[in-house]
Structure 1
Amino acid sequence: MYAERVSRLQGAVVWTNTPDAPGAGRVLPDGCMDLLWNDGRLLVAGPDTRAYVTEGERSSWAGVRFFPGTAPGFLGVPAHELRDLRVDLADLWPVSEVRRLCGRIEAADDPVSALEDVAVECAVGAEPPDPVLRGVVAALDSGRPVAATADELGLGARQLHRRCLTAFGYGPKTLARILRLQRALVLVRGGIGFADTAVRAGFADQAHLARDVKELAGLPLGELLGRRGG
């Protein structure tokens, strides 16, 4: 079962997931990075460009999902270095520090809240996120073209691409596609028909929606909706 709540860390979400039954799970790209807790380990989920499929996992997971573009400043690593990866936090931070944090979370009465505390503390003393990034997310999520977004923010195309690689793990065109996918999923899960969803989410037509869902999520839209648990 999956559950989430708003975090004390601005823009972040705290979530837990315990699979109800064996089988593959499917994590869809969303423009975010996560700090994960599983079986006594701290891991980092890098930004995905396609669905991340888990096979047969029955253990419980918890995570803090950072607002798009903010995790690299907290973790001290450019997002593109972790693209489509799941890595141990000890590969990024000193092993002794990660061991101390793992012991602290394991000893806590509420490990999920302790994980959130670790994420909040990551933000203390970290460089503040690039203020332009929220503007990038807002513009692309509203359906503005990449070129118009760059112009509105006073950035050249190459400069916007470099900043996006560092913050999101990929360029603005990929980010725009992922945000559009997420808009579409909200609509169809709310009962909107596929054709209307395509128009409202910013696709050229329903066929365009179907192609993007298959490429980014790895399943046809109808089948994906029947496997929401991932």
Structure 2
Amino acid sequence: MTVEITSHEELRELLGAPMPRAITKERTVLHERDRQWLAASPFCLIATAGSDGSCDVSPKGDPPGFAVVLDEATIAIPERPGNRRADGYRNILDNPHVGLLFMIPGRTDTLRINGRARLVREAAYFDDMVVKGHRPILAVEVAVEQIFYHCAKAFLRSELWRPETWQPEVMPPRPRLIKEVEAPAETLADLERRYGPAYLDTLYRG
């Protein structure tokens, strides 16, 4: 039998009250340690939601420090060439609320930033976002509304950073996966060429 939770009161009764520090750790401006974290982070996840409530989470990665700190309560994340679906960007145009999760490889804690985003197609700081000669064509500016560090339990439970637990071979290589799931009409040889060593050449050009 499935028993659904349908109210805030029921949820709180089940989980219990949060620890006081879980509430008081929230901040609205960047601490110097936050700036250091952002300078060291090469990867983040951006969560967005459309006006109809549909959600998206998009990974963003670049050399450490790719998220530029504009002031004590504003950061910017560059766009890089991708699949051009722009699901998250279209959501931001409809609903500016975003959630960010910044990671540092090997660290089991994370930095969370929630705020309001806007899309910017040109700004002076774009010059600080150039990587391998590529200047972004847009950036996501986020006005910080909440910032705090998240505990390590999820990463410890999953053993995410322990190489001895990694099993990338449990799934077929990407070319075979694409052929089976997305593009059965393409030949495996063509897909292997596309996603082989030459794929690295597409990281900073469309």
TM-score by length of 2: 0.29
Q: Which has the higher strand share?
A: 2
Q: Which has the higher helix share?
A: 1
